[in-house]
Amino acid sequence: MQVHGVSSLVLCLFCLLHTAAAFRRVCYFTNWSRDLQQAGARFRLTDVEPFLCTHLVYAFAAVQPSNSSLAPIVTLLAEGQQEELQRYRDFNALKKVNAELRTMLSVGGSIQANKDFVQVVSSDSGRKRFAANSVMYLRTYGFDGLDIDWEYPGDQPDTKLNFTQLLRELRSSFNVDAESRGKAPLLLSVAAPVSEAQMRDGYDVPQVSSLVDFVNLMAYDFHGSWNSITSFNSPLYARAEDPRFSPELSVNWAVQAWLQKGAEAQKLVLGIAGYGQSFTLKDPSKHGVGAPTNGSGKEGRWRRMEGQLSYYEICEYITNGGTEVWDDLQRVPYVYLGDQWVGYDNPDSINDKVNFALQHSLGGVMLWALDMDDFRGAFCGKGRYPLLSAMVSAIGDKMPDVRVRLTDTVTWPHPDNVTTPAPTSPSTTTTTTTTAKQLPTSSTTKSTRSTSTTSTKSLSTTTSTVSPTTTFKKPASTQQVVVISKKNTSSAVLHLSCRLLLTLAFLVLHVLTL
């Protein structure tokens, strides 16, 4: 009985440590962000900090139905196919900097890809060829796994079943490949919706959960310019007492729905958006949650997208006199400036969402996408990557000082010589706290999720010339600069205490079994 009790203690402690170690920080890299029209918005591989994420996902590759294989997306990019394939290799060279980093290739993310998926999965032979070809493709270019971003199965007959069968073929092929190579299996993930209809029609949730390593919940685009009143892109909780807002349109509802349908909690990765949904107010004097709107917000100065602003563009709004308001009911902020209104996530709301994920024993958090954070630290006055850094800090990990580049000698595409504004001062910001407000009467028009997702992930058609290359080296000091904030100290102490307890338990077990 004593041995059994100690064994149970050891197992519990091991599971605790394993859970802490397995909490993922998934980050998407978009392969069109280097070709944006405004040079200051272009995001290069040199802008990636490889220690802030546990998994880096390259978006996107295409589905090639003619031979059931993966293929690079080149038709809307300035470079040709060989340049894109070289970019795969450069992307995966980030693992020379951080050996614990895992890289994945995301396939899909477009209307055309949805059509191509339907063709590929329609037959058993097509699914088998795609799985076998995917293994070869991923191994050739150095990826550690595949992310399926089919938006969404279920819109045509049999695609729900065929999608599950595709995942089964991929899992089988990944396992066979791992055994033959004596390596860990390739990772498999899916980018998944949060609407009831799309979950029901396209996903056998228990089967999907059992076949993949994790599910990236796209818990954003709940509201946008398709609505007739101001509302949040990704509220943590619903506005339950206001009939104009559906209780289903919240992060909390979406996570509970996936869990109730049979998903494993530790395989759910909570998606967080690095952008906000913007509106034009009908009356600038009415700027609360639920205020009447007149379509999408104006395009931002840098990314030039109507109805959507990156986090750094939102910071610029605030610096230019916008008023930032924290909504305590839904645990997210908004900002208004003149007739413009934006609902988004900031470091405070991300802290709440990470804590929500931890409290529900989820498997991690995800950021869409790196290029939408203040990746140069030029706009928000909070250093580089304020959103991603908030994510890391809330998890309680040791956070790298992102002001110091710790790169091995690796050849990268050279970034454009661009001038970005100096870090801004938050002195002009007015922050208030609100709960439920008096809201003007209006009606909410609910849109389909696919509409907003298409706009979020649309590829840029801007072209540019191929840049020269340069080499970045490590600083003279080889010591990794690490900072632990006060809020992380207790987490670090707890983690160390668990390790000491685990060691002690093994020693006791050893003595008792002599």
One DSSP character per residue, 280-299 reads EESSTT--STT-BEEEEPPP
Query: Of the residues 151, 169, 264, 324, which is catalytic?
Result: 151
Q: Judge contact between 134 and 143, C-beta under 8 A.
A: no
Q: Does residue 14 sit within a domain?
A: no
Helix axes 124-141, 81-92, angle to 10 degrees: 70
Which residue, among 195, 217, 30, has the nearest Cα to 110 in the 3D structure? Answer: 30
- Ranking 90-94, 205-209, 503-507 by mean pLDDT, the lowest is 503-507
Mean pLDDT of 252-275: 99
Q: Return the residue matching tokens 């392969």.
A: 31
Q: Does residue 452 sit within a domain?
A: yes
DSSP per-residue string spanning 136-175: HHHHHHT-SEEEEE-S-TTSSTTHHHHHHHHHHHHHHHHH
Domain with 58, as residue range(s), is 23-467
Q: How many domains does the chain have?
A: 1
Please provide residue 91's backbone torsions phi and psi, each rounded to the nearest 5 degrees: -60, -45
Q: Does residue 503 sit within a domain?
A: no
The model's pLDDT over 323-343, given as tens digits with 9 standing for 90+, comes to 999 999 999 999 999 999 999
Q: Judge contact between 66 and 156, C-beta under 8 A.
A: no
**Taking 90 as the threshold, does the pLDDT of residue 172 lie above it?**
yes
Beta strands at 332-337 and 323-327: parallel, antiparallel or unpaired:
antiparallel
Helix (H, G, I), strand (E, B) or coil at 433: strand
Q: Does residue 18 sit within a domain?
A: no
Q: Judge contact between 467 and 83, C-beta under 8 A.
A: no
- Residues 309, 275: Cα–Cα separation, whole Å: 5
Mean pLDDT of 180-186: 97
DSSP per-residue string spanning 442-464: ----PPPHHHHHHHHTPPP----
Helix axes 159-181, 111-121, angle to 10 degrees: 80
Which residue, among 70, 139, 160, 159, has the nearest Cα to 109 in the 3D structure? Answer: 70
Q: Does residue 29 sit within a domain?
A: yes
- Residue 108's DSSP bridge partners are 149
* CATH assignment at residue 42: 3.20.20.80
Give yes or no: 151 in active site: yes
Mean pLDDT of 160-178: 99
- Residues 240, 496: Cα–Cα separation, whole Å: 41
Q: Residue 469's pLDDT is what?
A: 30
- Residues 256, 267: Cα–Cα separation, whole Å: 13
- Residues 138, 64: Cα–Cα separation, whole Å: 15
Q: Does residue 514 sit within a domain?
A: no
- Residues 25, 55: Cα–Cα separation, whole Å: 6
The pTM score is: 0.78
Q: Does residue 59 sit within a domain?
A: yes
**Taking 70 as the threshold, does the pLDDT of residue 309 lie above it?**
yes
Confidence of residue 161 (pLDDT cuts 50, 70, 90): very high
Which residue, among 196, 111, 188, has the nearest Cα to 152 in the 3D structure? Answer: 111
Q: Does residue 57 sit within a domain?
A: yes
Mean pLDDT of 35-63: 96
Enter the tokens of residue 486: 């006060």
Residues whose CB is less than 8 angstroms from the CB of residue 7 and which lie 6 or more positions away in sequence, other chains included:
509
